[in-house]
Amino acid sequence: MSTVLPTHTELGPPPPLESGALRIVALGGLGEIGRNMTVFEFNGRLLIVDCGVLFPEDSQPGVDLILPDFDYIRDRLADIDGLILTHAHEDHIGALPYLLRERGDIPVFGSKLTLGLVSAKLREHRIKADLREVAEGEDQQLGDFNVEFVAVNHSIPDALAVAITTPAGTVLHTGDFKMDQLPLDGRITDLNSFARLGDDGVDLFLVDSTNAEVSGFVTSEQNIAPVLDEVFARAPGRLVVACFASHIHRVQQVINAAVTHGRKVAFVGRSMVRTMNVARDLGYLKVPGGLTVTLDQLDELPDDEVVLICTGSQGEPMAVLARIANRDHKIRVHEQDTVVLASSVIPGNENSINRVINGLSRWGVTVVHTGNALVHVSGHAAAGELLYAYNIVKPNNVMPVHGEIRHLLANADLAVKTGVDPDHVIVAEDGTVVDLVDGAISVVGRVPCGLVFVDGSSVGDLSEGMLKDRRILSEEGFVSVFVAVDVVDGKVVAGPEVQARGFAEGSHVFDDVIPKVSARIEEALRDGVTDTYQLQQLIRRTVGKWVNEQHRRRPMIVPVVVEA
């Protein structure tokens, strides 16, 4: 039975770090999937691994991003010897611009692709940083921290595990990883280095827990190619493939299928275009000359000669795919078209994804997804792979990372099954302070580690009390818009009537947007959009954009559409 850490108030502040000990504090990523950030301390100096964001839930209205709580290190920014990025997913790099605002010269280490995507992100934030490229097989001496970089396979190229060695011992952090033996780029997880480090002695193993509850091994990425080939062969009209912008391997498979079946490729969505440009420029994406076209060129090509690659596979309401489903995008789909959702379902997004699938199905579109075809595989090691890793590394101590509590517990139990002493396995949550002393780990305290909300240009000013107020306002209606429509004649027959709360000027400030709402609704009705939910989404988008431009506000908008 694994050791389960008490997470209540009995854990007080940690004592001063004793000489020769290594301290580990996770500021995110434990008990949640996202916000990954771990701080290592030795001899008064700090080393950070990853700096990611968590995306908000429906119960956090108006929140854009959730950051790690930097308070633990805020008074010690000068003590940071370096920040290591294991790979370029947002839950590992998304908070970096916010940390660099507090100290801009922190040396940031990462692989070529990771730093390429980070550079693009930092340019948007107008931040210049000290970026230092590293590769597998290299090591860096950062003060008392010797850091070795190890290749691991993940759902984005160029991912790295890190082995951190100090006089207190060696810590091996897997980052996000799996053990695909037939990866598309031929870059497998370096089990030889894992075994070598294990033979030398790994005092603490920090292990990705996301798929610890999934038995066996993750299916190889290679198995997706024939499925995509079959989808392309059967599609009579346009193909639209939605996936994560960071999943370069999946995009490469779609490009390969497009070449085979004589289709041109168009990238749609800001993040997709940006990521593909970086990946292509750095050589991680192979795109034959003349294959890609712009959105404006699509109308010049027959439907059966194009494939669009876009964002929105999680049903995000403002992403390209949801807008296509709601007839709120210049791209129109019809019954000859096929849409592929080439990603797994992130827990909590089920309703949003189903809504998009239903919206697309309403237009007669054939929708292919993980529920009916093998169009995606996970980037995280399943239980069989984790057992394999434990048996190779033979760690003295284990602390599962990257996962919700149930994932951490399942991973801890796998470690115990391979022979790790249960007393040497710690299941911790964010803010837990763990010390490695003379080869033994122990929980010594807890530091404050709350959620830091990004709300527009505001960082950390939004409290739980304010969120509660927003939730109440979302139920009562902050800005309500009432419209009655005649779906037969395709006209607005009453309204739009706007009632606003929280605007000092009163509801009359919305007079200018009322004609815009009427015009957009009647345009949608002419296009055949009769579903009231889709019309409500159109109102929400139109009013929201106008309010943001005119008043720099992001109110909760409650549209009501009735059929006359």
All structural domains of the chain: 21-216+378-447 (3.60.15.10), 221-368 (3.40.50.10710), 464-563 (3.10.20.580)
Per-residue pLDDT at 128 exceeds 50? yes
User: For the segment 279-292, what is each residue's pLDDT rounded down to a tens digit?
Assistant: 999 999 999 989 99
Given pLDDT bands bounded at 50, 70 and 90, which one contains residue 470? low
The predicted model gives 144-163 an average pLDDT of 96
Q: In degrees, to the nearest 5, what angle opens at C-alpha 155 toward C-alphas 151 and 161?
A: 25
Query: How far is it, in rounded angstroms, from Cα 478 to Cα 507?
Result: 11
Q: What count of Cα atoms within 13 Å lies in the side-chain half-sphere of residue 139?
A: 11
Q: What percent of the chain has pLDDT over 90?
A: 55
The first and second tokens of residue 51, run together, are: 């700096």
The pLDDT assigned to 2 comes to: 43
The pLDDT score that the predictor gives to residue 59 is: 57
Task: Return the beta strands (E) in 185-317 as ranges.
Answer: 204-208, 239-242, 264-268, 306-310
Residue 163 pLDDT > 90:
yes
Task: Say yes or no to pLDDT of 504 above 60.
Answer: no
The structure tokens listed for 242 are: 């939605």
d(CA 294, CA 522): 28
Whether 86 contacts 159, CB under 8 Å: yes
The arithmetic mean of pLDDT across residues 290-303, rounded, is 88
> Residue 471: pLDDT above 60?
no
Tokens 């789909």 correspond to 333
pLDDT at 10 over 80: no
Q: What is the pLDDT of residue 468?
A: 57
Rounded CA gap, 108 and 48, in Å?
Answer: 9
Which pLDDT band, with edges at 50, 70 and 90, does 32 fall under? confident
Q: pLDDT higher for 407 or 520?
A: 407
Considering only CA atoms, which of 502, 493, 498 is closest in space to residue 480?
498
Return the residue matching tokens 């000859």.
Answer: 336
Q: Evaluate if residue 455 carries a pLDDT over 70.
A: no
Selection from 158, 184, 159, 195 nearest residue 174 by Cα:
159
* Average pLDDT rounded to a whole number, residues 250-269: 93
pLDDT band at 498 (very low <50, low <70, confident <90, very high): confident
Q: Which whole number is the average pLDDT over 237-260? A: 92
Residue 273 has pLDDT above 70, yes or no: yes
Report the C-alpha gap between 290 and 356 in whole angstroms. 32
Give which of 385, 417, 478 is closest to 61, Cα–Cα: 478
The pTM score is: 0.80
State residue 371's pLDDT score.
83
C-alpha to C-alpha distance for 302 and 238, rounded to whole angstroms: 8
Selected residue with higher pLDDT from 83 and 294? 83
8, amino acid identity: H
Band of pLDDT at residue 51, cut at 50, 70 and 90: very high
Q: What is the pLDDT of residue 241?
A: 92
